[in-house]
């Protein structure tokens, strides 16, 4: 049911986790058993419970400036591009990646606020809600250089001590939306200079990966870039992209 809805494929090693997760959801729904809970889902494809079901299985492992070399590549890349710049962060999680993108754009271009947009999507509705708030603990932002932390974050005081909030200069550049990559239609308006879809495809089978890559390709502008995760290799999955280096791809044709 999870794979059909989202493309996420749980391996056999996730069996115990799945049992615990389904048991928790069943109890919260007041279902007498996991089987009864799954029957309710199967019979109610538009139920709000589907959001919580999917959210319970998503993995929000992320960090600011994760895989730093990608942001250095992006900084150089956008300086060569015609404006405006548009970037899709297709697995935004709790916001660390899209805010890192926005900081990179601001540091690369003096007028980034008026010239750049980041579309940040994720299937996890709870994660997107947290990302919109842009509030993080000091532990979460420890890898951000101090100069950028002072420039783009506000430190909390009193009851908010130990927290930071993203400044409007970044938040205003990003549009956060929930999105299932398996949806038959994506609400895309125009093309992108770059698509970040990192450490997400590893949760899909090869057929699903190929389909998504074929859908990404026509959404990139000429010579646009697709950024993948460090453990992802698309070279043998599609002819629509060629490896440029360091898990960065360009569309072919």
Do 214 and 108 share a structural domain?
Answer: yes
Q: Alpha-carbon distance 244 to 79, whole Å?
A: 18
- Residues 60 and 93 sit within 8 Å (Cβ to Cβ): yes
Give the model's pLDDT for residue 53: 87
Boundary of a domain, candidates 37, 57, 77: 57
pLDDT digits (tens, 9 = 90+) for 108-146: 999 998 999 999 999 999 999 999 999 999 999 998 999
* pLDDT over 90 (residue 164): yes
Do 164 and 83 share a structural domain?
Answer: yes
Do 134 and 156 share a structural domain?
Answer: yes
Residue 63 in any domain: the answer is: no
Give the model's pLDDT for residue 90: 96
Do 202 and 124 share a structural domain?
Answer: yes
Average pLDDT, the chain: 92
Residue 169 in any domain: the answer is: yes
Do 219 and 124 share a structural domain?
Answer: yes
Q: How confident is the model at residue 233 (pLDDT cuts 50, 70, 90)?
A: confident
Do 135 and 52 share a structural domain?
Answer: no
Q: What is the CATH number of the domain that holds 41?
A: 1.10.155.10
Q: What is the CATH number of the domain that holds 88?
A: 3.40.50.150
The secondary structure of the chain, three-state, reads CHHHHHCCCCCHHHHHHHHHHHHHHHHHHCCCCHHHHHHHHHHCCCCCHHHHHHHHHCCCCCCCCCCHHHHHHHHHHHCCCCCCEEEEECCCCCCHHHHHHHHHHHHHCCCHHHHEEEEEEECCHHHHHHHHHCEEECCCCCCCCHHHHHHHEEECCHHHCCEEEECHHHHCCEEEEECCCCCCCCCCCCCEEEEECCCCHHHCCHHHHHHHHHHHHHHEEEEEEEECCCCCCCCCCCCCEEEEECCEEEECC
Give the model's pLDDT for residue 97: 97
Residue 93 in any domain: the answer is: yes
Do 79 and 43 share a structural domain?
Answer: no
Interstrand relation of 163-166 and 174-178 (parallel, antiparallel or unpaired) = unpaired
* pLDDT over 90 (residue 54): no
Give the model's pLDDT for residue 102: 98
The domain tally of the chain equals 2
pTM as predicted? 0.87
Q: Between these two residues, 147 and 7, which has the higher pLDDT value?
A: 147
Q: Alpha-carbon distance 244 to 250, whole Å?
A: 6
Do 142 and 212 share a structural domain?
Answer: yes
* pLDDT over 80 (residue 253): no
Do 138 and 27 share a structural domain?
Answer: no
Q: Which domain holds residue 247?
A: 68-251
Give the model's pLDDT for residue 47: 87
Do 50 and 75 share a structural domain?
Answer: no
Residue 230 in any domain: the answer is: yes
């Amino acid at each position: 049911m999870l794979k059909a809805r989202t493309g996420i494929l749980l391996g056999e090693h996730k069996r115990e986790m799945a049992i615990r997760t389904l048991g928790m959801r069943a109890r919260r729904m007041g279902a007498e058993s996991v089987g009864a809970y799954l029957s309710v889902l199967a019979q109610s494809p538009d139920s709000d419970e589907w959001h919580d079901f999917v959210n319970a299985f998503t993995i929000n492992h992320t960090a600011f400036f994760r895989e730093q070399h990608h942001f250095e590549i992006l900084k150089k890349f956008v300086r060569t591009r015609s404006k405006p710049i548009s970037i899709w962060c297709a697995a935004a999680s709790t916001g660390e990646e899209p805010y890192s993108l926005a900081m990179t754009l601001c540091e690369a271009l003096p007028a980034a606020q008026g010239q750049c947009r980041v579309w940040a999507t994720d299937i996890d509705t709870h994660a997107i809600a947290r990302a919109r708030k842009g509030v993080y603990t000091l532990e979460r932002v420890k890898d951000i250089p101090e100069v950028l932390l002072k420039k783009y974050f506000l430190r909390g005081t009193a009851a908010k001590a130990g927290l930071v909030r993203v400044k409007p200069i970044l938040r205003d550049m990003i549009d956060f939306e929930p999105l299932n990559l398996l949806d038959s239609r994506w609400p895309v308006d125009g093309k992108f200079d770059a698509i970040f879809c990192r450490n997400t495809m590893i949760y899909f089978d090869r057929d699903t990966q190929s389909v998504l890559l074929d859908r990404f390709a026509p959404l990139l502008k000429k010579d646009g870039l697709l950024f993948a995760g460090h453990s992802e290799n698309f070279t043998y999955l599609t002819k629509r992209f060629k490896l440029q280096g360091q898990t960065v791809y360009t569309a072919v044709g």
